[in-house]
Structures are given as structure tokens and as C-alpha cells.
Amino acid sequence: MIPWNHGKRLPTIPGRCKGQIVILCYTLLFYSVTCVDVEPQKEIYVPNYNVYHNLTRIGKEVEYLLKFPNYVKVYTHHKSRQNRQQYLLHISNFTKHSEKFDNLVEKPRILFSFGEHAREFLPVESAIYFIRNLTGGLLPDVDGFSRQFTQQILSLVDLYIILMANPDGRHHVEKTKNYCWRGTSTGVDLDRNFEWEFGGKGSSSDTEDEEYRGKDPFSEPESLVFQEITSDVSFDAFFSFHSGINHIYIPYSDTKSRQLKRVPDNIQEMLRLAAQLSRSTKYKYRFGTSHQLINYTADGTIFDYMAGIQKIPFSFTVELWGKQHQGMSCFDLFNPKSDELQKVVSNLHPLYINIIRYLSEWKSRNIAKMTNPYSERPSMVLGYMLLGITASVSAMICLHRKFRNCPKIYTHQRIVSLKTLSSSFPAKNL
Ligand SMILES: *[C@@H]1O[C@H](CO)[C@@H](O)[C@H](O)[C@H]1NC(C)=O
Ligand SMILES: *[C@@H]1O[C@H](CO)[C@@H](O)[C@H](O)[C@H]1NC(C)=O
Ligand SMILES: *[C@@H]1O[C@H](CO)[C@@H](O)[C@H](O)[C@H]1NC(C)=O
Ligand SMILES: [Zn+2]
């Protein structure tokens, strides 16, 4: 997520310190501030890997997608520092007869990113559910409704997904059972490693800190897939999915932008989409710029980079789910219990559908505006056309009959047709 401590209220500890336990508390405080999010904690519950996907099973899910070569492309060359796959997927209808058709119906190009923070299992699970749903509609024995649903979604979007941005971090969590681990294999927070206000106060130069930004922008091999795909494809929208709280963030979240009150040019349009998304699931997301939602900053984030450097019109960080509490456990802050997982991911499903539907409408509106300046008022253009046709047909008939009977026979008819037309566009144009 963007947030830094993901809702952990560490500063409340000194408030509880009293008299003789001050020293103990300060020891605790020191321990918590320096280590709490990196050191393993006693967990309230942990994942059951027959329900949650471990890395091995995530790999199997991706392998399964190879069954749909006409709809899913799997790119395997993007790798982590320890040579694990990040699974870049491209989901679209690749069976199109001609390129021309594709250009005619221009769809939004959207990039989703999952798995940036190692301990946030839920976003990846949610992605798997969404992808399974879409590809489910391609199976031969599926019901007609699901088939149509998939056809419709595929007709609306050209979708790219980075399914597991930080596989080494995930491997570390699975191996050590340290469910507080957030970074890569070297402890870098990927979501601070990008070249937008890199190095500011909303990140850390301390290699032990969970917001360690790395040595330089893009110092981490895991960051390169984001850079590469955005230079290859011109995206309309980018979404970075996290968990820890129910928030939808709009850029910019860096320290300097907070001072400058810098926001994207199309902030109103972004707020409209965020508002729609916040209503699309039962989780009622709060949304806005991060200065409005939280009181800390984040420098070098991926979504700020996508907005500020790559100029992607819509760039969001979405925190899908969270259960905030005071205790020290980690897994339950970011992820539901195994036996609740299925329900949560199905609750989240409409969010993705809403993103796709909204942006598809936005894109057609935009294209229509660019190609036809009258497209905003089609009824008026139609009105003019009908008026023109009526007038010229009347004139031709009149001419044909050499003016004689003309006024008597046709005036009435003409008035009727003008009246009919007037109801379809503003009267003063008549
Ligand atoms: C992943 O989970 C499955 C259980 O679903 C288990 O059989 C397998 O050993 C796990 N793999 C690793 C590497 O932990
Ligand atoms: C996918 O999700 C849609 C919307 O929730 C649903 O109507 C459809 O049946 C699902 N498809 C499959 C194959 O589960
Ligand atoms: C993919 O496109 C082809 C050609 O336009 C079309 O016939 C087919 O129904 C589409 N498939 C899906 C699943 O939408
Ligand atoms: Zn996160």
C-alpha cells in the first residue's frame, strides 16, 4: 500500500506508559519502531495454503491460462532479483479478423499491478478470482450468461496484469513465516523505488526500514517490468492494488506535492471514477488524494510515477480490504481468514468490472469528441439533416410541378414535418 505502516498505530504505545514501566515501554517502543513491521509477530491466524495460493500454486494458475492462447498472453521474461517470474499477462481477444476493426473500436488499455508488498496476499487472490471468472466464460461447457459476460468484458478492454510484482518477497514470507515482511529479497519497498520525487522524506535510506527505497530509482530488477511495459504500451489507466485499509488514492502522494498542493489536471474525472468504485463493493472505500485521506507522505511510489512521468490519465492506488487493530500481528491486518477468503474475493469482483466499464465509456466519449465535434449533440445534427432532406425533397417536387399547385398542396405537409422535427431539437433552431 501507500501507507507506510498500513494502519499500525505505533505512536500510541508511549501514551500507555506510566511511572515505573516507562523504561519497559520505551524499550518496547524502540523495538516496535525499528522492527515491528519487519520482524515476525505472533499471528492471530495464518494462511492455509490449500485455500490461499502459495508461489507454486500461483505458477500453476498461470500455467492453466496457457489453455487460452487466443485470449491470454503470458510473458515470462520479467524476473525478480532471485530469478522468479513476475507473470505479466495480456488479456484481450486476439482472434480479431483484421487490425482495422481493432482500431475502429478503440478500447482502453489498462494496467493492473498486484503483489508489490509481500505480506499483502489478498490482492493476488483477488486477481486470480477475477482472471478465473473471465476465462471461465471461455470454457466450452459454460452457461450462456457467463459466456456473454466474458464476451462483453473482452469487447470493452485491452488488459495487462502484473500478477506478482514481488515474488522474492513472497518467497521470503512463505519460507520464514514472517507475515510482516513487505519488501523484496533485499528489503526494498518497491513502492518507493520509482523515479518520481525519489528519495524524499516519505521513504527511507535505512536498509532496515520497511520503507527502504533502494539505492537509486529503478535499482531493483522488479521495478523494470513497470518501466518496460509502459514504454511499450500507451496506457489509459494504471491501478496498483494493495490491502491494509479501504482506501482509493489519487496522485500525488509525495512530500513535495503535499506542500505544493499538486494534483493531476483531470482530478475531477478521477474523483468521479473513484466515487463510482467506492460504491461498487460492500466495502465503501474512502477516496481522494492522499493528503486528504492520510497524514503522511510517500515518495517514489509507482502510481505517482505513472501519473507524473508516464502521464497515464488515470492512476490509482487501491487498498482493497483491511482490518485495523492495535495488536502486533500482521497477517490479519492485510488478509482475511482462509475460510473467509472466497467471500471477500467475490465481494471485490465488481470493482474490476466497474473499472473496465467506466473507462470503456470514457474512452468512447473521448474518441467521439476527437473525431466528431458534433457528437455531443447527435439529435441536433440529425435534426438538421432531416430538415435539409425535407426541404430539398419539397423543393424538388415543387419544381417538378412547375410551381402551380405547389403552395396549396404541400404547405400543410411541410408544417407538419417541421413540427415533428422541432420536438427532437431546440425550437429556436427552427
Ligand atoms: C504450496 O501449497 C501446496 C498445498 O496446496 C503444497 O502442497 C506445496 O508443498 C506448497 N509449496 C511450497 C513450495 O510450499
Ligand atoms: C463471472 O462474473 C459474472 C459477474 O459477477 C457472473 O455473472 C459470471 O457468471 C461469472 N462467470 C463465471 C464463469 O463464473
Ligand atoms: C473474439 O473476436 C471474434 C472476432 O471478432 C469473435 O467472433 C469472438 O466471439 C470473440 N470472442 C469472445 C470470447 O468475445
Ligand atoms: Zn501495500
Instruction: Please identify, by atom number, the ligand 3 atom nearest to the C-alpha of residue 151.
Output: 14
List the one residue out of 297, 295, 289 whose CA is nearest residue 211: 297
Q: Does residue 408 lie in a domain region?
A: yes
Confirm or reject: Cβ of 95 under 6 Å from ligand 3: yes
Cα 55 to ligand 1 centroid, rounded to whole Å = 8
| Buried/exposed 252-283: b ≥16 CB within 10 Å, e otherwise | bbbbebbeeeebbeeeeebbebbeebbebbee
Residue nearest to atom 4 of ligand 3 (CA): 96
Q: Is residue 323 assigned to a domain?
A: yes
Is residue 9 in a domain?
no
pTM, full prediction = 0.81
With a CB cutoff of 8 Å and minimum separation 6, the contacts of 266 are 313, 314
Domain end (from 347, 371, 395): 371
Does residue 428 lie within any of the structural domains? no
Alpha-carbon separation of residue 223 from 13, 76, 191, 204, 299 (angstroms): 35, 15, 9, 17, 15
Same domain, 250 and 304: yes
Helix ranges, 216-260 (H): 224-232, 255-260
Three-class secondary structure of residue 410 per DSSP: helix
**Domain end (from 371, 398, 414):** 371
Q: How many angstroms separate the CA atoms of 98 and 106, rounded?
A: 13
Residue 168 sits at φ, ψ, to 5 deg, of: -65, -40
Look at the chain and report how many structural domains it folds into. Answer: 2
Q: 271 and 406 in one domain?
A: no
CATH number at residue 173: 3.40.630.10
Q: Closest ligand 2 atom, CA of 137? A: 13
294 within some domain: yes
Give yes or no for residue 151 CB within 6 A of ligand 3: yes
- Domain-terminating residue out of 335, 350, 371: 371
> Is 270 inside any structural domain?
yes
**Nearest ligand, measured from the Cα of 350:** 2
Do 356 and 397 have their domain in common? no
- Answer yes or no: do 416 and 288 share one domain: no
Instruction: Domain of residue 387: give its range.
Output: 381-422
Residues 96 and 167 in one domain: yes
Q: Is residue 353 within 8 Å of 277, Cβ to Cβ?
A: no
Report the distance separating Cα 178 and Cα 158, nearest Å. Answer: 37
**Tally of CA atoms within 13 A in the half-sphere of 332 that contains its CB:** 14
Q: Give pLDDT, residue 381.
A: 59
Tens digit of each residue's pLDDT, the chain (430 residues): 444 444 333 333 333 333 444 444 344 444 333 334 567 778 999 999 999 999 999 999 999 999 999 999 999 999 999 999 999 999 999 987 655 555 556 899 999 999 999 999 999 999 999 999 999 999 999 999 999 999 999 999 999 999 999 999 999 999 999 999 999 999 999 999 999 999 999 999 999 999 999 999 999 999 999 999 999 999 999 999 999 999 999 999 999 999 999 999 999 999 999 999 999 999 999 999 988 999 899 999 999 999 999 999 999 999 999 998 888 899 999 999 999 999 999 999 999 999 999 999 999 998 888 777 665 555 555 666 777 777 776 666 556 655 555 444 443 443 333 333 333 333 222 2
Q: Is 142 in the pocket of ligand 2 (CB under 6 A)?
A: yes
Give residues with Cβ within 8 angstroms of 77, minimum separation 6.
Answer: none
Beta bridge partners of 73: 90
Nearest CA to ligand 2 atom 2: 133
Query: 403 and 301 in one domain?
Result: no
Query: 223 with 242, same domain?
Result: yes
The C-alpha atoms of residue 105 and residue 99 are separated, in whole angstroms, by 10
User: Based on the domain organization, do 367 and 385 belong to the same domain?
Assistant: no
Q: Are residues 299 and 333 in the same domain?
A: yes
CA of 276 to the centre of ligand 2 (A): 20
Same domain, 408 and 346: no
* Best mutation site among 68, 92, 94, 95 for ligand 3 pocket (most ligand atoms within 8 Å of CB): 95
Ligand 3 centroid from CA 93, angstroms: 6
> Whose C-alpha lies nearest to ligand 3, atom 12?
151
Distance 348 CA to ligand 1 centre (A): 26
Q: Is 96 in the pocket of ligand 3 (CB under 6 A)?
A: yes
Residues 46 and 144 placed together within one structural domain of the fold: yes
Q: Phi and psi (nearest 5°) for 18?
A: -135, 140
> Is 13 within a domain?
no
State the distance from the centre of ligand 3 to the C-alpha of 276, rounded, in angstroms.
Answer: 29
What does DSSP say about strands 72-75 and 88-91: parallel, antiparallel, or unpaired? antiparallel
In a domain, 170, yes or no: yes
Contact (Cβ atoms closer than 8 angstroms) between residue 58 and residue 115: no
Residues 78 and 172 in one domain: yes
